[in-house]
Amino acid sequence: MRALRLPWVFVLAGLVVLGAGCKRESSRGADAPLRLGFFPNITHAQALVGHSEGTFASEPGVGKLEVKQFNAGPAAMEALVAGSLDVSYVGNGPAINTFLKAGRELRIIAGAVNGGAMLVTRTAKSAAELKGKKLATPQLGNTQDIALRYWLEQQGLNTQLDGKGDVQIVPLSNSDILVQYLRGGIEGAWVPEPWGTRMLMDPGGGGQILVDEKTLWPEGRFPTTVVVTTRKVLETQRPRIVALLRAHVKLTERWKQEPETFATQVNTAFGKLTQKPLAAPILQGAFSRLEPSLDPVPSALSTAAKHAQELGFIPSSDISGLVDLSALEEARKP
């Protein structure tokens, strides 16, 4: 397989940022708010509801809470290692990249959502028909970007970071992906929900699901969203992290017990952020592909790391020490 080699300045930049972040973090006072990151995707369902309904902020032990919204994983992970974020919902790709590139400081402390990512195409009904076409992902190096590039390589189609190659891949925000798809500016995209279902069902959309990512994984299980923090935050703010995870567990259990009600609550929160709640068929279609899960599926993380290494995004696939579920276990105790 031909690998995509990233300039090593990416790695060096990450380490520099980490060092700068440690200095800023040490200057924060004891009463500083806990800073939580998430994205306006329904694959961040617990974060959407927990923020909208105040579940996190009202959980005893969390204390002051500051919530920050991001478009995709790399930006959130940059904030985490820079010390301007304490804990975040994020995809497995940026979590693995950051762990390996920023001194193995990042920790996955819980699973959140499995499934809910796919490649939607307007006309192409096979990998071969993608040659010469333009596809999009939410951000270079994010979970869906790595999934798309690896799948294309497996189909014998190469890609380049400068947009050249058999298939051109452009990074766009999820909302811009939808706009470009509806306008015919791109052939398709590998995206998380609800954006995939919106590409299919919004007026002017259509096409087909060329790849539902769950079909590529054993038993269809792979982590789309996990909860992460840093080793230092876990050590210095552990009681608050445990309290936050306690709220995360409650939200996950609500979803499992009352999926239709929880989906409606997610849609209400999503509508507040985007000013456009999802139509009922889109909400139903998107949620049908999601699985609430506290298990980050470590075996799938190892496989994803190998994929990223083969593409040249990371220098190693050794992610020993990345997953630390001790705080989650503490949060689940009666």
Q: What is the pLDDT of residues 178-222, one digit of tens each?
A: 999 999 999 999 999 999 999 999 999 999 999 999 999 999 999
pLDDT of 8: 32
Q: Using alpha carbons only, what angle is made at residue 21 by residues 16 and 25, rounded to the nearest 5 degrees?
A: 160
pLDDT band at 115 (very low <50, low <70, confident <90, very high): very high
Q: CB–CB of 130/121 below 8 Å?
A: yes
- Statement: residue 73 has pLDDT above 70: yes
Non-local CB neighbours of 161 within 8 Å, separated by 6+ positions: 4, 6, 140
Average pLDDT in the chain: 90
pLDDT above 90 for 11: no
Q: What is the pLDDT of residue 1?
A: 41
Non-local CB neighbours of 208 within 8 Å, separated by 6+ positions: 120, 121, 125, 200
Question: Of 264 and 101, which is predicted with more confidence?
Answer: 264
Residue 267 CA to residue 321 CA, distance in Å, equals 35
pLDDT of residue 30: 67
Angle (CA) 302-298-69 rounded to 5° is 95
Taken in order of first residue, the domains within the chain and their CATH numbers are 34-114+222-332 (3.40.190.10), 117-220 (3.40.190.10)
Q: Which residue has the tokens 């979803």?
A: 255
Distance of alpha carbon 57 from alpha carbon 62, whole angstroms: 6
Give the Cα separation of 217 and 289 in Å (integer): 14
Q: Which residues contact 140 (CB under 8 A, 6 or more apart)?
A: 74, 161, 171
Give yes or no for a contact between 83 and 20, defined as CB atoms under 8 angstroms apart: yes
Do residues 33 and 237 touch, judged by C-beta distance below 8 A?
Answer: no
- At 9, the amino acid letter reads V
pLDDT, one tens digit per residue, over 277-319 is 999 999 999 999 999 999 999 999 999 999 999 998 888 999 9
Q: In terms of residues, how long is the chain?
A: 334
